[in-house]
Structure 1
Amino acid sequence: MMEVTAQAEVQGESARTQDLSAFIDGILLGNEHALEELYEATVGKVYALAFAILRKTEDAEDIVCMTYAYVWTDASRYDAGRGSVLGWLLMLCRSRALDRLRQRRMNRWVSEPADLDNLVTEDDRPDDILGLMQRHSAVRAALGKLAPTRRHLVSLAFLQGMSHQEIAAATGLALGTVKSHLRRALTQLRRELEVA
């Protein structure tokens, strides 16, 4: 009985994949209804991924719109040989969401000197202020020495406050891989900061 259920699920998944491919075919012909159908069939998963990465409703909604706008204008870039339509949509969404996350982080870094001013009080001595600035620079330098993947995972964990499971879901990496990268990144950061 369980084998029959598993076969039915596989056949159902195959039918859904074929349906989504048919929507791409329609979009290639300029059929707006095909885009609407694709949107209705997939938007829940696309939005969930965007929100898991960005944690802001407005940003997630923007990314979803950008994803489907890209599909409308560049559906010809979909290659069935490389994966499913849903996989392609999620990859497009993830890429755009991570770009938005990097943009947010850069905006935050640009404003860091003002943030540092907020940490300094009238009672602080010049040596205290200098020490704070040096620690800030040392942390930035240590983060800069991490491999891009590890730096990104550290950012998701500590700047975005995401759990290991959330990071795995957002990045498509296995949970064990996320934990391993974070553990090694933190070990490297600790060594770099001890030297500094």
Structure 2
Amino acid sequence: MTAPDEARGVGVFPEAGPSCPVERRGEPELARLLAGLLGRVGRGDRAAFTEFYRLTNHRVFGLAVRMLRNRSAAEEITQEVYVQAWSLADQYDQRRSSPMGWLIMLTHRRAVDRIRSERAASDRDVVYGHTQLGRDHDVVAETVTQRAEERAVVRCLDTLTSRQRETIALAYYGGRTYTEVARQLEIPLATVKSRVRDGLKRLAACLTGSESR
């Protein structure tokens, strides 16, 4: 199926605010509405996709901006996420995550891929600068070390379970409180705290192992 205009980036990504349609609904009501829309999107309903996009693009774009700190790059990620959502809507399983949680995970993965790609390019620039331009060795070594530490964090995120990544992404990248995360994922607050605690422990263990190698 050809992606609708919204998925290909036709339109504007406004800043989220009090008037955002998503904020005028309770999370359970919104989750039910979005799940229904996704079901129709999976059957190729473009009108449902337009409504799904209208209700959710503020959060997707907001997360992309916070992660990438670049509006242009965030717009590109948002477009990619909705193209992916259009393609995968028929595979969405609401038993595994809420529609908004699913979108947040797609966004997080896309943004992490972009960060990895940009860091790889940056590392190549550092190596080139060292070999071709004669930059001071200590400065280059310090930069490479910093990049390696950043890559270790990204790599260690992959050791988490999908539920731990989703919960941590909402709490830290999404800027939500534990209570807001619990409401969005429709799970008990204690479960949110447990997932974050266990996920951070696993991250710490992975990072410690990375440092020792």
Q: Scaled by the length of structure 1, what TM-score is found?
A: 0.62
Q: Tell me, yes or no, if structure 1 residue 44 matches structure 2 residue 48.
A: no
Alignment of 1:38-117 (within 5 A): 38-116=52-130, 117=133
Distance 1:50 1:145, change over 3 A: closer
Distance 1:29 1:175, change over 3 A: same
Which structure is larger by alpha-carbon Rg, 1 or 2?
A: 1
CA deviation map 1:14-39 (0-9, x unaligned): 22111101111221221111111001
Distance in 1 of aligned mates of 2:135 and 2:171: 30
CA deviation map 1:132-185 (0-9, x unaligned): 66x45983797499573279xxxxxxxxxxxxx999225998499769957x95
1:52–1:166 contact (8 Å) kept in structure 2? no
Q: Which residue number in structure 2 is paired with residue 139 of structure 1? A: 145
Distance 1:113 1:68, change over 3 A: same
Where does the alignment leave 5 or more consecutive residues of structure 1 unmatched? 1-10, 121-128, 152-164
Q: Which has the higher helix share?
A: 1
Distance in 1 of aligned mates of 2:97 and 2:106: 13
Distance in 2 of aligned mates of 1:31 and 1:60: 26
Please point out which of 142, 150, 156 is paired with 1:149: 156
Distance 1:141 1:31, change over 3 A: closer
Which residue identity lines up with residue 114 of structure 2 in the other structure?
R
Where does the alignment leave 5 or more consecutive residues of structure 2 unmatched? 1-24, 159-168, 176-180, 182-194
Distance in 2 of aligned mates of 1:91 and 1:149: 16
Distance in 2 of aligned mates of 1:99 and 1:170: 17
2:41–2:48 contact (8 Å) kept in structure 1? yes
Q: For 2:44, what is the secondary structure of its paired residue?
A: coil
Aligned-residue offset at 1:118: 6.7
Q: For 2:48, what is the secondary structure of its paired residue?
A: helix
RMSD in angstroms over aligned alpha carbons?
4.1
Which residue identity lines up with residue 33 of structure 2 in the other structure?
D
1:63–1:96 contact (8 Å) kept in structure 2? yes
Please point out which of 98, 116, 119 is paired with 2:135: 119
Larger CA deviation: 107-116 vs 49-58: 107-116
Distance in 2 of aligned mates of 1:12 and 1:167: 19
CA deviation map 1:85-129 (0-9, x unaligned): 011011111111100110000111111124433734xxxxxxxx5
Distance 1:78 1:145, change over 3 A: closer
Which residue identity lines up with residue 54 of structure 1 in the other structure?
L
Larger CA deviation: 136-145 vs 65-74: 136-145
Q: Scaled by the length of structure 2, what TM-score is found?
A: 0.58
